[in-house]
Chain A
Amino acid sequence: MSTETTERTPINYLNATTGWKSWLFTTDHKRIAVLYLISITVFFILGGIFASLMRLELTTPQGDMFSSDTYNKLFTMHGVVMIFFFLIPSIPATLGNFLIPMMVGARDLAFPKINLLSWYIYIIGGLFALGAILAGGVDTGWTFYTPYSTTYSNAYVMPAVVGVFIAGFSSILTGLNFIVTVHKMRAPGMTWGRLPLFVWGMYATSLIQVLGTPVIAITLALVGLERVFHVGIFDPAIGGDPILFQHMFWFYSHPAVYIMILPGMGVISEVVGCFSRKRPFGYSFIAGSSLGIAILGFLVWGHHMFVTGESMYASMVFSFLSFAVAVPSAIKVFNWTATMYKGSVAFNTPMLYAFGFIGLFTIGGLTGLMLATLAVDVHVTRTYFVVAHFHYVMVGGMVMAYLGGLHFWWPKITGRMYPEVWARIAAAITFIGFNLTFGPQFILGYMGMVRRYHAYAPEFQPLNVLSSAGASILAVGYAIPFVYFLWSLTKGEKAPANPWGAKGLEWETASPPPTFNFDHTPVVNEPAYAYAKDEEVEVV
């Protein structure tokens, strides 16, 4: 990093100490965030390669490129890597780690050593997952449904299950750290009502991580034990119920969707406010809806099981509650839109990603309503409709927000500006490529194309070719930022402390920040997002 200019660069967290030990044994939340950033990028590329290979195979209806066994392993490892090793840690472990202490005005997270430990746990879990991949792969699907995963699969299920189990504790410890930090480490004057909306989103996320992850841990532990001992509580041969596994699995894995999306919503709240130069419309409703999503999100998992033979009365309850959880998400979308009303809207790259997020998340959310509708779900569940739906939320929503947030705080993290023109081009390419990739999959799903199919009926080919073509555009859209971010580390323009004119404590310290974030403990004496003086705020 920019060590050649140490004479003129003030001491910051990047150049305060040098050598690999100063990174691998650091307890600085900012350096740990950078470690996470590098490792999740590796996993993102890995998962992306699996996805590209799948899209390549699906250009023809015959399974002619890979054997069906290889294809099954590809989609499983794509899912496992992307969900457990990219999406779950993405924003929390990088931007969250980097920003939360600064946003609340603290010198570090409450437990810096535990923070470092969680990175090592994540890496160990990741190594197990990589081991499973290198040994020959897993073919259970990321959902590890029993009895296939416990009894029938001949693949390397154990290392993958152990890897996910271990990585779960990294997620738990990160969430624990954030909760305690937000409760106990806020700077003087930083009341709950003055917290940035990103912190609210992260706090809600952390609650889910802490409450949900242990359940997937024990569930996967039980699967692992059943696989080792050839007998266990999900085994139909002794009266066990495979559906119970699904209940326990989705008790975590549905809220896990909100682990993935809530931080993204937090980023968008920051970005939209900054580039409209306005306090986000309905601050308290955006903040409250994050908590609402976190709690209601725990009540809806059964909507993944409408066709399994779950009791129809339970299904109706789950369907109803699923509609209820859509309300807080809708509130956020409306509030972001309303924030721009009478604002001062600038079209910087983070804002372009935010536009993309709002549009794609709206589509992802509305198709989610169709999946929550009992009768419609019966037809479209387990088809490409579902694939398209959750990619609109996860990739169209979460990855867009992640990239937007990365651009937004890149000057703060590295002290360098990214090239604006290239970044805008990349954002546009990503948006187009994304819609081309996943838009056709909605239609494919309604036509009846089942997911996880290695070969498919020929009538589905044209839309699959379109989708694969879109995927290659999307890959270009992701490759461009990768290149210019690396380029900007040395060649990028030096960033000022607050390049966007944004509000928030993280913008009041240098870019990059000093090791302990602030030279003096900040004292907060104005509301959040005070772009104008108090008396100029209009209450509608």
Chain B
Amino acid sequence: MNHHVLPVRTYVLIWLLLLIATGTTLGVAYIDLGPWNIVVALAIAFTKMSLVVLFFMHVKGQSSLTKLFVVAGFFFMAILILITMTDYGTRSWLPQGRMW
């Protein structure tokens, strides 16, 4: 059980970091980085999410069970997206002769 109360300072610090990250997302979007635009945008989004999950949602300091469920959510979402992508990603591959 955690009745651990985080100091207000921590919350405000996280809040500031989140605001800075939002500004960064917006700023970077206007710089042409080619395919890296989306990578950077998502990396920042993941960072922001981690901050919210760990501090605002108190997962830092929670039991490993809670952490397991958080990770499981993203794991199965990744399965949904990535395995579907294997279909779309390989539809245009040409068969090259005989396989066996």
Contact = CB atoms under 8 A, between A and B. Distances in A.
Given A215-B80, A298-B76, A312-B95, A247 B87 contact: yes
Interface in A261-304: 298-299, 302
B80 A302 contact: no
A386 to B, nearest CB: 21
B65 A311 contact: no
A317 interface: yes
Contacts of B83: 299, 302, 314, 317
Contacts of A215: 80
B64 interface: no
Nearest to B72: A211
A310 interface: yes
Given A211-B76, A298-B76, A313 B86 contact: yes
Contacts, number: 39
A410 to B, nearest CB: 36
Question: Which residue of A215, A309, A314 has the most chain B CB atoms within 10 A of its CB atom?
Answer: A314
A513 to B, nearest CB: 29
Main secondary structure of the interface of A (DSSP, over half): helix
B93 interface: yes
Interface residues on A, range: 10 to 19
Contacts of B2: none
A311 B95 CA distance: 11
Main secondary structure of the interface of B (DSSP, over half): helix
A251 interface: yes
A491 interface: no
Given A183-B65, A302-B87, A311 B93 contact: yes
Contacts of B72: 211
B93 A313 contact: yes
A322 to B, nearest CB: 13
Contacts of B65: 183
Nearest to A255: B76
A317 B80 contact: no
A423 B83 CA distance: 47
Given A313-B86, A317-B86, A251 B80 contact: yes
A313 B80 contact: no
A183 B64 CA distance: 13
Interface string B84-96: 1011111101010
Nearest to A247: B84
A311 B76 contact: no
A251 B79 CA distance: 10
A247 B80 CA distance: 9
5 contacts: A183-B65, A243-B87, A311-B86, A311-B91, A317-B83
Interface of A: 183, 211, 215, 243-244, 247-248, 251, 298-299, 302, 309-314, 317
